[in-house]
């Protein structure tokens, strides 16, 4: 069957992304519909006021993406999400006041398989609606191409048989975005308590990174915390960039020190992977090991190339295990990556490299 051609521009017509809006507020359903309506590549296939009605719509409409509230009658959004991912995996973007006010709810939704989240728009902030609409549309487009995975229980791995000791002064520098919360968790679960320090920038708004760090700290052998300005980097610790600031690393004598800045967003993000990676290129050089995980866009790709030119050895998550392959793909395309691996093998291979093992994976 041939792809339809538009006679005007002779280009293949792309199928629209069909969106199902699930929210108990009629006003919110209208607002979200109006936000998506001007975009020719998006179509609101239907709306539902509760999860029971949503199930019927899912069966009848087979949407590409679902926007989902949390607090609804008949069934809460997290229960619906859990059943949806198990029985009929569909990309979901959470849209709820609870995803802004209750970071634990948001993190649980991501654990269950939601691709991403946005807060409900504040109706009194009309001037901010354009930016909100742009964010929502961007995340729906990314979700349409995302790989949805059923939730699985991840536990700390057994101690890894790593020969020798970790090289001194090494830092692991990690960047992630869409899908990154679960990828980071799987990565850190493979690290022993005495692992070299890990610095992480995950695209996440203020109010969420502290809860994210605490959840990881409770599950991992390595200690995990939200980064603080001026603190010394220590072995056996992973540091998460706060949602309100860029994270940088610099050298202070024989020690590495963390720096937080309120500089403007870079690549539309604060914290930005680009900022962290660039500081690593400048101050850590060949002692850095870069890791690019799942994420939308290209934040960090150019700076990862700077890291490689400064002597760093870089890894990227492979397409098959990424929720969204954008950030790793951009870094690979620039020639910034030395090895590409599935997330399940990333920790062991990074630790092996740090312990001086030879490559066990295909290099780029």
User: Does 158 map to a domain?
Assistant: no
Could you tell me if 273 and 216 lie in one domain?
yes
Q: How far apart are CA 39 and CA 2, in angstroms?
A: 25
Establish whether 299 is a catalytic residue.
Answer: yes
User: Does 268 map to a domain?
Assistant: yes
Could you tell me if 335 and 285 lie in one domain?
yes
Could you tell me if 295 and 231 lie in one domain?
yes
Q: How many CB atoms lie within 10 A of CB 232?
A: 11
Dihedral sign from CA coordinates of 124, 126, 127, 132: positive
CATH number at residue 126: 3.40.50.2300
Catalytic residue among 82, 299, 318, 338: 299
User: Does 156 map to a domain?
Assistant: no
Could you tell me if 228 and 90 lie in one domain?
no
Catalytic residue among 103, 177, 245, 279: 177
CATH number at residue 341: 3.40.50.180
**Cβ-count burial 291-312 (b if 16+ within 10 Å, e if not):** bbbbbbbbbbbbbbbbbbebeb
Q: How far apart are CA 254 and CA 142, in angstroms?
A: 42
Q: How far apart are CA 34 and CA 172, in angstroms?
A: 44
**How many separate domains does the chain show?**
2
Catalytic residue among 203, 246, 269, 353: 203
DSSP for 233-274 reads: P-TTEEEEPPTTSEEEEEEETTEEEEEEE-PPPBTTBSS-HH
Instruction: List the one residue out of 94, 93, 92, 95 whose CA is nearest residue 121.
Output: 95
Residue segments in the chain with a per-residue pLDDT below the cut of 50:
1-12, 158, 161, 163, 360-362
Query: Which residue bears the tokens 């994976």?
Result: 361
3-state secondary structure of 21: strand
The pLDDT value recorded for residue 71 is 84
User: Does 166 map to a domain?
Assistant: no
Give 165: exposed, middle or buried? Use CB within 10 Å, 0-12, 13-18, 19+. Answer: exposed
Could you tell me if 112 and 222 lie in one domain?
no
User: Does 363 map to a domain?
Assistant: no
User: Does 183 map to a domain?
Assistant: yes
The pLDDT value recorded for residue 50 is 94
Instruction: List the one residue out of 251, 215, 210, 205 whose CA is nearest residue 227.
Output: 210
Could you tell me if 180 and 329 lie in one domain?
yes
User: Does 128 map to a domain?
Assistant: yes
The pLDDT value recorded for residue 103 is 78
For residue 189, give its domain range.
171-354
The pLDDT value recorded for residue 155 is 55
Residue range 126-171, pLDDT digits in tens: 556 888 899 999 999 999 999 887 655 555 554 554 545 677 789 9
Could you tell me if 224 and 175 lie in one domain?
yes
């Amino acid at each position: 069957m041939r792809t339809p051609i538009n006679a005007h521009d002779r280009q293949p017509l792309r199928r629209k992304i069909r969106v199902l809006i699930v929210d108990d507020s009629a006003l919110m359903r209208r607002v979200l519909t109006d936000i998506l309506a001007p975009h020719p590549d998006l179509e609101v296939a239907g709306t539902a006021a509760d999860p029971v009605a949503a199930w019927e719509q899912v069966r009848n409409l087979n949407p590409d993406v679902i926007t989902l509230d949390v607090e609804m009658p008949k069934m809460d959004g997290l229960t619906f999400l859990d059943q949806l991912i198990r029985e009929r995996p569909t990309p979901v973007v959470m849209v709820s006041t609870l995803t802004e006010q209750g970071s634990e709810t948001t993190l649980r939704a991501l654990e269950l398989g939601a691709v991403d989240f946005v807060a409900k728009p504040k109706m009194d902030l009309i001037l901010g609606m354009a930016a909100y609409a742009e964010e929502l549309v961007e995340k729906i487009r990314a979700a349409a191409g995302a790989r949805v995975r059923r939730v699985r229980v991840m536990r700390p791995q057994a101690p890894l048989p790593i020969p020798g000791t970790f090289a001194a002064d090494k830092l692991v520098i990690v960047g992630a975005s869409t899908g990154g919360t679960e990828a980071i968790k799987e990565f850190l679960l493979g690290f022993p308590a005495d692992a070299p320090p890990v610095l992480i920038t995950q695209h996440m708004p203020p109010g969420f990174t502290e809860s994210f760090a605490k959840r990881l700290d409770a599950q991992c052998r390595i200690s995990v915390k939200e980064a603080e300005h001026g603190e010394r980097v220590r072995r056996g610790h992973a540091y998460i960039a706060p949602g309100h600031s860029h994270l940088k690393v610099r050298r202070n004598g024989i020690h590495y020190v963390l720096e937080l800045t309120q500089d403007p967003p870079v690549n539309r993000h604060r914290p930005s992977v680009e900022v962290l990676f660039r500081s690593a290129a400048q101050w850590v050089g060949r002692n850095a090991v870069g890791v690019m995980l799942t994420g939308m866009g290209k934040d960090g790709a150019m700076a990862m190339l700077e890291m490689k030119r400064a002597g760093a050895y870089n890894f990227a998550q492979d397409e098959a295990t990424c929720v969204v392959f954008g950030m790793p793909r951009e870094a690979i395309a620039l020639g910034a990556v030395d090895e590409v691996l599935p997330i399940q093998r990333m920790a062991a291979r990074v630790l092996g490299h740090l312990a001086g093992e030879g490559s066990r994976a295909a290099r780029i």
